[in-house]
Structure 1
Amino acid sequence: MKAGIIGAGRIGKVHAKNISMFVPEVEIKTVADPFMNEETEKYLRKCGVRNVTKNAEDILQDEEIEAVLICSSTDTHSRYIMEAAKAGKHIFCEKPIDYDLGKVREAIRTAEDAGVKLQIGFCRRFDHNHRGVYNMVQDGRIGKVQMIKISSRDPEPPAIEYVKVSGGIFYDMMIHDFDMARFLAGGAEVTEVVAAGSVLIDPAIGEAGDVDTAVVMLKFDNGIIATIDNSRKAVYGYDQRVEVFGSQGCVRNENDVPNTVVLSDAVSTTCENTYKVMWDRYTGAFVSEIQAFVEAVEKDKETPVTGMDGLYPVLMAAAATKSLKEGRPVKIEEVE
C-alpha cells in the first residue's frame, strides 16, 4: 500500500521510521511539510521515502497514494481529513481531530460520506501493558468494573511555544488518558467531569494560560468512577500506569523500563528508571496501531479507533477545561 505523510515533525518522523523498519506492507511514497528542510529530507531519505515536498496537495492529488497519515499541527487535522476523504484516501490522523467540536463532527461525517477508513492515533490502546489490563477486564477476571485510576506524567514540559497553541493540558496530554479511561470502561460513556489544576512546575506555563499539574474525575453512565492525574514533569522519567478495580479483584500495570537489571549491595537495592521519552516508551504501540490501520484497509473492516472514538475525548477535554475555569462539575451535555 502506497501512503503519504502530511507533517514531518516529531511524530511524522516516528511513523516514517517505524513503517520503514517494521511495516513492510506500506511504502511511504511522499512526505509533505511546509517547513521541509535539508536535515528533515536527509532523515526521510534514510527511511526510504522517495519524494519530499512542501505542498500537501502533491499527496492528495497523487492517484497512486491510497492512504494518508496526518501528522501535522492539530489546527490542520480536520481540514486535511476532509481534503483527504474527498480525494478518496484512507486516513490515519493523529489526535485530536480538532479543538472545535463542530469541525470534529464535520470531519467524521466527510470521511463517512466518502466511504474511506478513518483511524485516530490513540496509540496507548495498542501498548502491550495497557492492552494486558484491558484484556483482563474484558475476560471478566476482576468482575464488574467500579473504579479506574490513570497516572500519566511526562519527563519534561513541552516548549512554551507549543503550550500556547496546544489547547492546554487536557487537549494535548490528558486526551490520551480520556481515551484510555473510556477504553477500559468497556462501552460506558462519561456523563460528568470534575477538574482541578495548578501551576507548580513552570510559571511560564501559567502565563500562557495553562496548568502543568492536573487531576480529573470522570463519572460514567453506569456508575464507574475514574480518576486521572497528569504532571508535565516527573524527574524519574516517563510515568505511565493504569489500574482497574472491580467487584472480584484489581488489575494494574507498572512502568516499562529499558532493562530489568536490579543491583543490590550493602547500601541499597536499585533498578533502572523508566524511559525518558514517549517515542521509546511506546515504540511497539506506534507500530501496532499502523499495522491495525493497514489491516482495516486491506480487509475492508472498521478501524479499531474510529472517528467517534476521536470525538469523545475532545468532549471530555472541553468539559475538563470548563470545569477548571468555573470551579464546578460539568456535564458532558453542557459542551456537547
Structure 2
Amino acid sequence: MINFALLGAGRIGSIHGANVARHPEANLVGLYDPFQDNADRLSAELGCKQMTLDEIFSSDEIDAILICSATDTHADFIERAVANNKHVFCEKPIDLSLQRVRDCCVSVAATDCKALVAFNRRFDPNFQLLQQQCTQGVIGDIEMVNIISKDPSPPPIEYIKTSGGLFRDMTIHDFDVARFMLGEEIVNVSAHASCLVDSDIAKAGDVDTAMITLKTASGKLAQITNSRRASYGYDQRVEVHGSKGMLETRNINESSVTAHTATGVNGPKPLHFFLERYEAAYQSEIDTFIRSLKGETVSFPTMNDGLQALLIADAALLSYQQGRTVKVSEIT
C-alpha cells in the first residue's frame, strides 16, 4: 500500500483525496488544511486523521503527498516533501514565478523522488487515444492543432485576483495539451485577448476571452480559443490535422439521447463543468501515479512539463501586452 497525505481540502483536494481513499493500493493517512471547516468536513468524509504540516513532512508512515493547496504554497511544499524523501503529486501551476519553478525543478532532480504535475487532460481517455493515434501516424505528419476550451461561467473575482491570470490559470492546460499533441516544443507565441464577459475581471487586471497561436521550430501550428463563458456548458474540443487526415475529440454530453421530431433535432448539452467532464481523468492520473510508485514504467507530466507550460503562458501574456509575436526564448 502507498500511504498518502493531502495538503488542501478544497474542491480539487476533495477530488484527489477521495480517489486515493478509494484506490485499492493506496491509503489516505491524513490531511491538512489551514481552514478548519474544510479540514473537519473532508477528514470526516474520507475517514482520515487531521495532521499538522510538521507531522506530515516528518512522518515515516507517509510515502507521498498530494499538494492541492493554494498556488503560492506549491513550490515550498514540493521542496519540503522531497527533502523528506516523499513523492509528490502537485496541482498546477508549480508557482507563478519562473525562477521559483526552475529552483524547484533542481530540488526535485537532486533526489530520487517522483513528482507528477497534475495536467489532468493528458489522462482523459479520449485525449490519450487521440495523442496515441497521432504518435502511431494514423493521420501522417502533424501540421495543425486546434484546441477549444471554454468555461460555462467565470470563477469568483477573488479567485481571479490571485490566479495569475487567464494564461497562467486556464490556458496553461491548453498549452500543455498543445505540446502533448504536437510532440515538439513551442518557439513562437502570438496572443490576442479581451474582456468581453465580465467588466469586473478587467478591473481585476485580467482578460476573459483569448485566441493564441503557437508555432514550433519545424513550423507546426496550434490555435487555442478560450472563453470564460459558454452558455451551453463546458466546451472542450481538440482537432489535429495531419498530412493524411484529421483526428478530433468532441464534447462529452449529459446523455447520448437526441430527439428527432417534426419541430427539429434536439440533443443534450455538454457536461456542465470540469468536475464532471474530467472525472475519469482525475481517477486515471491518481492511478498512474500510484502505479509509478509501485515500480511500473508509466508516462506522466513532469516538473519540466510544468515549467514549459508556464514559459508559454508568460510568453502569451507578454505577446498580449505588447501586441507582437514573442519568442519563448525571450522569457527568462
- TM bucket (normalised to shorter chain) is over 0.9
| 8 Å Cα contact 1:119/1:303 also seen in 2 | no
Where does residue 95 of structure 1 map in the other structure?
92
Where does residue 230 of structure 2 map in the other structure?
234
**Greater mean alpha carbon deviation, residues 166-175 or residues 256-265:** 256-265
Where does residue 12 of structure 1 map in the other structure?
13
Where does residue 28 of structure 1 map in the other structure?
28
Equivalent position SS for 1:201: coil
Moved over 6 A (4+): none
- 1:313 counterpart (309, 315, 331): 309
Q: Which amino acid aligns with 2:309?
A: P
**How many pairs does the alignment contain?**
331
Quote the Cα distance in structure 2 between the aligned partners of 1:301 and 1:82: 24
Cα offset, 1:105, TM superposition: 1.0
Q: Which amino acid aligns with 1:112?
A: A
Instruction: Output one character per residue of 1:263-284: Cα deviation in whole Å (capped at 9) or x when no partner.
Output: 1221111111111121110010
- 1:167 counterpart (142, 146, 164): 164
Instruction: Output one character per residue of 1:13-47: Cα deviation in whole Å (capped at 9) or x when no partner.
Output: 111122233x221111111111121x652333222
Where does residue 329 of structure 1 map in the other structure?
325
User: Are residue 118 (structure 1) and residue 118 (structure 2) matched?
Assistant: no
Cα offset, 1:149, TM superposition: 0.3
Quote the Cα distance in structure 2 between the aligned partners of 1:42 and 1:193: 43
Q: Which amino acid aligns with 1:11?
A: I
Quote the Cα distance in structure 1 between the aligned partners of 2:15 and 2:174: 21
| 8 Å Cα contact 2:212/2:316 also seen in 1 | yes
Where does residue 260 of structure 2 map in the other structure?
264
Where does residue 44 of structure 1 map in the other structure?
43
Q: Which amino acid aligns with 2:40?
A: E
Quote the Cα distance in structure 1 between the aligned partners of 2:14 and 2:163: 19
Cα offset, 1:306, TM superposition: 1.0
Q: What is the TM-score normalised by the length of structure 1?
A: 0.96
Equivalent position SS for 2:250: coil
User: Are residue 84 (structure 1) and residue 68 (structure 2) matched?
Assistant: no
Quote the Cα distance in structure 2 between the aligned partners of 1:149 and 1:31: 39
Where does residue 135 of structure 2 map in the other structure?
138
Quote the Cα distance in structure 1 between the aligned partners of 2:298 and 2:258: 44
Q: Which amino acid aligns with 1:281?
A: R
Quote the Cα distance in structure 2 between the aligned partners of 1:144 and 1:88: 42
Structure 1: which 5+ runs fail to align? none
C-alpha RMSD over aligned residues:
1.2
- 1:106 counterpart (93, 103, 106): 103
Q: Which amino acid aligns with 2:12?
A: I
Change (3 A) 1:56 1:300: farther
Q: Which amino acid aligns with 2:50?
A: V
